Homo-oligomer: A and B are copies of this chain.
Amino acid sequence: MPTPLGDAQRALLDRFTAGELTALARLISLVENGRDGFEALLDVLHPRLGRAHRIGITGPPGAGKSTLTAGLIRHYRAQGLRGGAVAVDPTSPFTGGALLGDRIRMNDVARDPGVFIRSMATRGALGGLALTTREVADVLDAFGFERVIIETVGVGQSELDIAAAADTTVVVLVPESGDSIQTMKAGLMEAADVFVVNKADRPGADRLARELSMMLHLRLGQLLRNIPAHHGVDLRRTAAPSGPVPAAAPTAPSDSWEIPVLRTTAETGAGVPELAALIGAHAEWLDRSGQRRRRRRQRLAERVREQVGRRLHALAWAERGGAAVLEEALPALEAGEVSPYQVAAGIVRAAVPE
């Protein structure tokens, strides 16, 4: 039961289906700006999803994420694959776009018709930036790009969630990050399927790569300690002081993904083919292990939840007069005569009859 489309929407969709880049750009704008009917369009596109491998690229500002994104897209193009990218860009009216340098670096790949790169504004997205970014990634997927890269500054939980919704999440660090691994946002470390130490020609790159590997081993060790010792050797018993510790170590669960740490120099392209190969290996593991299906299922459920939130919000605020109720209640709220909880209850009662 697909949602009915208007004539203009149908015409746009036809051009989109024919592979016109201008139609792609137009459709992304409709989604980004939450224009009337964009949900009906996404609804129609839904059965075309799932062909692209989605790659999240995240990390601190200045780590070289955009250069790496451009490098990956160039690599994929050389293999005959088309690449789309959506970059979350913390533009602001004050600075007028701190990431201008990054955009320029991406331009040299952006003249190729098999490539499409979109910078998202970070404010005013209907229903939240995370949802809108994922919807733009959907549009790129539906258009037929075999690789879709989602690039975000991995500094806050919401930015991180965007990248972590990809099939493969690449966390990019630079030697300068080394000092602060301890104070780094913890979620950033947990999101990684692949670690990249970029600007690997700088001092400290080897040390950071070693520290990351060590940390990943510690983590694996912690996981193993939490596995009940019903298979093989009980570590606590064999480590008894009376005898030597046997060399036989427990192995990781047979089909787990061991998070690799790769050194790259995105500026020169060094390491980019290796990164693409690791992403490919992870994609194969996702298929083999059933993880791809599990991740996509989670993503679908999350999408439904977000949509419900967006619709309920529109219902309460746009359709059933919540804004007017709030406006009227403000003086009493300020005077402390009513609480926000009472006003909210009233708005919900108006929106949702018993």
Contacts and interface: CB of A to CB of B under 8 A. Distances in A.
Contacts of A343: 304, 307
B352 A61 contact: no
Contacts of A301: 326, 330, 333
Contact of A352 (B305, B312, B341, B342): B312
Interface of A: 1-3, 39-40, 42-43, 46-47, 49-50, 61-62, 90-92, 94-95, 98-99, 122, 129, 153, 155-160, 180, 182-187, 189-190, 219, 293, 296-297, 300-301, 303-305, 307-313, 315-317, 322, 326, 329-330, 333-334, 336-345, 347-348, 351-353
B348 A312 contact: yes
A186 B94 contact: yes
A168 to B, nearest CB: 19
Contacts of A94: 186, 189-190, 219
B90 A297 contact: no
Copies in the complex: 2
B345 A311 contact: yes
A187 B129 CA distance: 15
A189 B156 contact: no
Name the residue among A61, A311, A326 with the largest chain B CB count within 10 angstroms: A311
Given A155-B155, A297-B330, 20 more contacts: A3-B342, A62-B183, A155-B156, A156-B156, A293-B334, A300-B330, A304-B326, A304-B329, A304-B340, A304-B347, A305-B317, A307-B341, A307-B344, A308-B317, A308-B348, A309-B313, A312-B316, A312-B348, A315-B348, A351-B352
A27 B54 CA distance: 44
Given A182-B98, A339-B42, A316 B322 contact: no
A297 B334 contact: yes
B183 A99 contact: yes
B308 A341 contact: no
Nearest to A307: B344
Contacts of A42: 339, 341
Contacts of A186: 90-92, 94-95, 98
